[in-house]
């Protein structure tokens, strides 16, 4: 019973994260669109993100960086959605099932992708710093790619353990 309550609380927290991530991705996309009409908006895109200098330096570089940021925000919302789906598929009586294993594998690939894209975006942003272009608190929006790669690897291993658990469970069902 206690485990079920904890899972319910985690489900609610995941929904809150999902909704917040969707709002963040939408707000970033909207702000970006508005800056194409009025460049002053690049001074405060969302939660203090200031890419006005980058906008003035090169509008195509600005568009590229914002594309990274918006894509990562959207991908993180998708990741939260996948975690929500875990709560629907999770059965504590028979935890090793094909649907949950596929979902864990999809989550691991998504986390690994976020990590790779974050590392690429971080590398891209360092080029502007070398040129002397100030890009503010951009790392708050890009995230740490290395962390995502690490956790993606762990989730991938867990998915493989689930796969083996399904195989063992199937063998046990056949022997009974």
Separation CA 72–CA 78 (nearest Å): 10
pLDDT of residue 176: 54
Cα 148 to Cα 25, 49, 170: the distances in Å are 18, 22, 33
pLDDT of residue 89: 85
Torsion of CA 11, 160, 111, 127, to 10 degrees: 160
- 65-82 confidence digits (pLDDT tens): 999 999 999 999 999 999
- 103-126 confidence digits (pLDDT tens): 999 999 999 999 999 999 999 888
pLDDT of residue 115: 94
pLDDT of residue 30: 95
Give me the average pLDDT of each 10-residue run along the chain (176 residues).
86 95 95 91 87 90 93 95 91 81 92 94 88 84 88 92 85 68
pLDDT of residue 174: 66
pLDDT of residue 151: 92
pLDDT of residue 84: 94
- Tokens 């975690």 — which residue? 83
Instruction: Answer whether 104's CB lies under 8 Å from 55's CB.
Output: no
């Amino acid at each position: 019973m206690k485990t079920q309550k904890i899972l319910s609380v985690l489900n609610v927290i995941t929904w809150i994260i999902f909704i917040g991530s969707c709002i963040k991705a939408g707000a970033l996309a909207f702000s970006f669109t508005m800056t194409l009409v009025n460049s002053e908006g690049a001074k405060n895109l969302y939660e203090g993100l200031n890419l006005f200098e980058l906008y003035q330096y090169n509008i195509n570089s600005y568009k590229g960086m914002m594309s990274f940021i918006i894509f990562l925000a959207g991908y993180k919302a998708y990741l939260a959605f996948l975690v929500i789906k875990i709560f629907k598929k999770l059965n504590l009586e028979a935890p090793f099932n094909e649907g949950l294993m596929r979902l864990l594998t999809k989550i691991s690939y998504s986390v690994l992708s976020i990590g790779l894209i974050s590392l690429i975006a971080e590398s891209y942003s360092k080029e502007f710093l070398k040129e002397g272009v100030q890009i503010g608190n951009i790392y708050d929006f890009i995230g740490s790619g290395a962390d995502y790669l690490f956790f993606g690897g762990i989730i991938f291993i867990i998915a493989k353990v689930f796969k083996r658990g399904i195989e063992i469970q199937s063998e046990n069902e056949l022997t009974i």
